[in-house]
Amino acid sequence: ALTINGLEGDVTLSWKGFTLSPSMEAWKCKAPSVLNQVTSVCCAWSDGSPEKNALMMDSATRSKRDERAKWDIEGCKVIGCSKGFHLYEGFCYTCSELNPVLADSRFLPLDAEWVEGREDCSQWQCKPGFVKSVSGYSCVNLTMLQSSCARYTRCGTCVNAEHCVWCGSNINVDGTGSCIPGQAERPLSKRGCRYSELGTLMEGASCTCEANQCDSECKHTDCDACSSDHLCGWCSSTKTCMQVGVSGPKFGECLDGWKSSGSCHTDLVIALVCAGVSSAVVTFMCCYICIRVHRRRRESTEAASPQQPSTADAQAIISNLHSFQYKSPHLPEGPETPSASDEHPSDQDDQDERSCCICLGNYSEGDDLRMLPCLHVFHSSCVDHWLTV
């Protein structure tokens, strides 16, 4: 019982969120505050906060969180984690615990694993026996990489392949070497380092391979042999054989006369090509002019001669002409019959109408005649033949 000023009974004291009642044996937090067992402070945690959600955890999980967490000066909010742990939504995780929680937002390539003990749990590394690809987004099987590199039999093609270095030619007396998995010691570095059986890069003194520049390549002493090698090119200004790059030597500089993958007699080849092209152009122009002249002459000839109707057109015209049979006029005989000397000049026209002007023969009774649109009459056989000639 608590007695204040001689009074005992229903007296209650409160201080910093704690409430002391005469009927209680210990302090308790005033609702809705909750006692933080780690810091011994009453905290007014809101619903849904990470600290209040932790109260729903089992005692073992909550105890693990309490051991890893760092609290603010008020003792109510987690502000960090002990070394080796990572804060996420008020709870401290290891990388192995956190990444499954964030699986939907974290990228982990096939044959890779998360790196523990790093500040950022998003870092990953390839499993033993695998190496990270050049793109940095996948892991390459080391056994498959060995088979891939072994296909290259020259240093120039080996060092151009991803994850391959050329070893031995700079050590062996005979200049022979082999293409094995590895990479340059540093970007654009001449020294190449091989991979160990686990996929780690053997750096330092073990980097005795060639990664970019191949000293054993392009040792030709003449232009023809050099330019016939697809990995080499000839520099006329220095008279040296050099490795081929994108648009010139891969290493060094050629000021004039760079030739690669072609004939060294470039000037003669160019002259022959130009002569051939010129001859072809002249021949084409001559042929074109001849064809144009011939076509002009033919068009002029066709324009000068009128176009004759075809036999089919003539037959169609003839079939539309008026046809009939000749019937001779019968005049009475006697003194009234005029003599030939008394014939009127118009009788001559009648005579013309009784004879064919084509064959000059007189019409006979029943002859087939044909009349033209000009009203002249002829034998059908005569005028038909004349019209179709």
DSSP for 160-193, please give it: TSTTEEEESTTTSTT---EEEEEEESSTT-SEEE
Q: What is the pLDDT of residues 14-27, one digit of tens each?
A: 554 555 554 444 56
360: which 2 tokens? 């000059």
The CA distance from 36 to 62, in Å, is 12
Q: Best-predicted range by mean pLDDT among 24-28, 142-146, 154-158, 310-314?
A: 142-146
d(CA 314, CA 308): 10
Q: What is the pLDDT, as a whole number, of residue 142?
A: 92
Place of tokens 């005795």: 208
49-69: per-residue pLDDT in tens? 877 777 777 777 777 777 888
- Does position 200 have pLDDT exceeding 70, yes or no? yes
Mean pLDDT of the chain: 77
Lowest-confidence pick of 181-190, 224-233, 259-268, 295-304: 259-268
| Residue 61: DSSP 8-state | H
In angstroms, the CA 186 to CA 192 distance is 8
Beta-bridged to residue 93, according to DSSP, are: 86
Q: Are 34 and 45 in contact (CB under 8 A)?
A: yes
Q: Identify the pLDDT of residue 8.
A: 37
Token readout for 262 is 């072609």
Cβ atoms of 65 and 53 closer than 8 Å: no
Of 246, 245, 202, 238, residue with least CA distance to 221: 238
Q: Which of 65-74, 226-235, 336-345 has the lowest mean pLDDT?
A: 336-345
The vertex-237 CA angle with 234 and 243, nearest 5°, equals: 30
Cα-trace Rg, the chain: 58
Residue 181 — pLDDT band, cuts 50, 70, 90? very high
Enumerate residues 6+ apart whose C-beta is below 8 A from 346. none
Alpha carbons 216 and 214: distance in angstroms, whole number: 5
Q: How confident is the model at residue 361 (pLDDT cuts 50, 70, 90)?
A: confident
Mean pLDDT over residues 91-95, rounded?
Answer: 80
Amino acid letter, 112: A
198 Cβ contact partners less than 8 Å away, ≥ 6 residues apart? 128, 129
pLDDT of residue 144: 92
- H/E stretch holding 14 reads strand 13-15
**In 54-160, where does DSSP find H-type helix?**
59-68, 95-101, 142-150, 155-158
Give the model confidence (pLDDT) of 304-324 as tens digits.
Answer: 655 555 667 777 788 788 888
pLDDT grade for 343, boundaries at 50, 70 and 90? very low
- How far is the CA of 12 from the CAs of 1, 19, 32, 168, 227, in angstroms? 11, 7, 18, 90, 103
Q: 284 — alpha (psi -120 to 50), left (phi > 0) or beta?
A: alpha
Q: Measured between alpha carbons, how far is 212 from 204 in angstroms, rounded to an integer?
A: 17
Task: List all residues 6 or more positions away from 90 whose beta carbon is below 8 Å from its beta carbon.
Answer: 49, 50, 51, 53, 54, 78
Angle between helices 311-319 and 380-388 (to 10 degrees): 150
- The answer, yes or no, to whether residue 86 has pLDDT greater than 90, is no
Token readout for 300 is 């002029």
Structure tokens at 318: 């003839």
